[in-house]
Structure 1
Amino acid sequence: MTVPESDSAQIEVVRVFTDAAGRFGSPLGIVRHSAVANIDHQALAARVGQALTAVVYDPADGRVAMRIYTPAVELPFAGRPSIGAAWWLNEQLSPVKVIDVAAGPVEVALTDGLTWARARATWSPPFEFHQFEDAALIATLDSADFPGGQHYCWAWTDELRGAVRARMFAPGIGIPEDEATGAAAIALTALLTRGLHITQGQGSQIFTEWDSDGWARIGGRVVADHPIVI
């Protein structure tokens, strides 16, 4: 029987999809499975309070297992934990090439200051997409406008270059608004069948590439934030 809380687990926090100066990005809580093996992970994620918390197992032979939680539900895949955990493990001198999540194996790599993850577009949860003709309207949206479901609001800022302005609201999975959302970026990439440079939230940067066989790559910058102990 597991217990819902811990008074000694340290949660490492990183910010994923920052801009080139290390600003913005969405926080990700990361905790080693060995530190919370006897703890209810879903209750832990709710107590941590981040939009996403990743429970990372011990790496072996260049790959690692990971489970992903919002404050309300477990997810089979998400882009931010895949990128954030790959970067964090590399910083811990335990680099991996594959992260095994419930949806399947995610190939990861660090290249030229970006961390990349390759995943199937069908692994992304369902989003309702709202395209705006005027990108300036994206900034005027309010989370109260989206009381349920999962919504990705976007507009071209330079269609020729694949530049997009976006925001994401997902109260259906316990996230009123997410500053930067990897899975939604992958889903939009699949919808448009092209690589994108997405500016989401206050200024987070997400890069994507599309493969015609249904796979997409998503990349971003990661920085360490302050750890928390609960």
Structure 2
Amino acid sequence: MTDYDVLRVFCAANGGYGNELGVVRKGSLIPAQDDRQELAAKLGFSETVFVDDPERGAIDIYTPTLRLPFAGHPCVGAAWLLDVPELVTPAGQVGTRLDGEFTWIEARPEWAPPRTLRQYATAAEVDALPVPPPGEWIYAWSWEDEAAGRIRARAFPGRDDGIEEDEATGAAALLLTAELGRALNIIQGTGSQILTAPQPEGWVEIGGRVILER
């Protein structure tokens, strides 16, 4: 089996929760996309990152069923692990910075795959939602404290690959931030935390805590 690390990205303040991410540091040893896709499916994480060049920050991202030009929690995790000023993805160059306990990336909303952003009246409604059948990718959210920018969210990928709900999804948070036009403090899944902030010229920063699981 190929060596890989497991990170948890967008952890809570106590270090719990977060979305697991597989990282193959020596991605150059698996150059073929088909082989990468096969390994990502075998590992079963919502996303797996292959590091093609650790010094340049060049990475390649896969779900269990498809290759992604960009994804939020893989980029935050890779930024923390590689500690480089930027990441190189098929979508474009992703700025990165470390700020105390948080790792931040800067990306563009148009890089994110399509998502259905569905607002609910209360956090309790979001908490009570059943997992929908496979189909559209739904980001269900509600305000917990609109004045403070606090949001409750859950993410349902709508894929038939065994991943019914994503614990923390940076790309969906990116789209929601762009739509609302303000900084957000999102609690997603069972307790993961995602911070976001709009930037000049349409960019958005996404930040979170990262822990090396194994």
1:47 matched to 2:42: yes
List per-residue Cα deviations over 1:74-107 (Å, max 9, x = no partner): 1110111111011112xxxxx3111010100001
How much does 1:56 deviate?
0.6
Match of 1:132 in 2: 120
Which ranges of 4 or more aligned residues in structure 1 deviate by more than 3 Å?
172-175
Give 2:211's aligned amino acid: V
1:117 matched to 2:105: yes
Task: Identify which of 140, 144, 147 aligns with 2:134.
Answer: 147
Task: Identify which of 181, 201, 205 aligns with 1:193.
Answer: 181
Give 2:188's aligned amino acid: Q
How much does 1:212 deviate?
4.3
CA distance in 1, matches of 2:197, 2:178: 9
CA distance in 1, matches of 2:208, 2:60: 20
Match of 2:210 in 1: 222
CA contact (8 A) 1:70 1:173 kept: no
SS in 1 for 2:13: coil
Task: Identify which of 41, 57, 66 aligns with 1:73.
Answer: 66
How much does 1:173 deviate?
7.5
How much does 1:123 deviate?
0.6
Match of 1:34 in 2: 28
Q: Would you say how many aligned residue pairs link Structure 1 and Structure 2?
A: 211
CA distance in 2, matches of 1:201, 1:52: 16
CA distance in 1, matches of 2:67, 2:156: 17
SS in 1 for 2:171: helix
CA contact (8 A) 1:51 1:71 kept: yes
How much does 1:34 deviate?
3.1
Q: Which runs of 5+ in 1 are unaligned?
A: 1-7, 90-94
CA distance in 2, matches of 1:222, 1:124: 21
CA distance in 1, matches of 2:154, 2:133: 12
SS in 2 for 1:67: strand
SS in 2 for 1:171: coil
CA contact (8 A) 1:73 1:173 kept: no
CA distance in 1, matches of 2:114, 2:200: 20
SS in 1 for 2:41: helix
Bigger CA radius of gyration: 1
Q: Which runs of 5+ in 2 are unaligned?
A: none
Give 2:61's aligned amino acid: I
The alignment yields a C-alpha RMSD, in angstroms, of: 1.4
**TM superposition score normalised by structure 2:** 0.94
Match of 2:151 in 1: 164
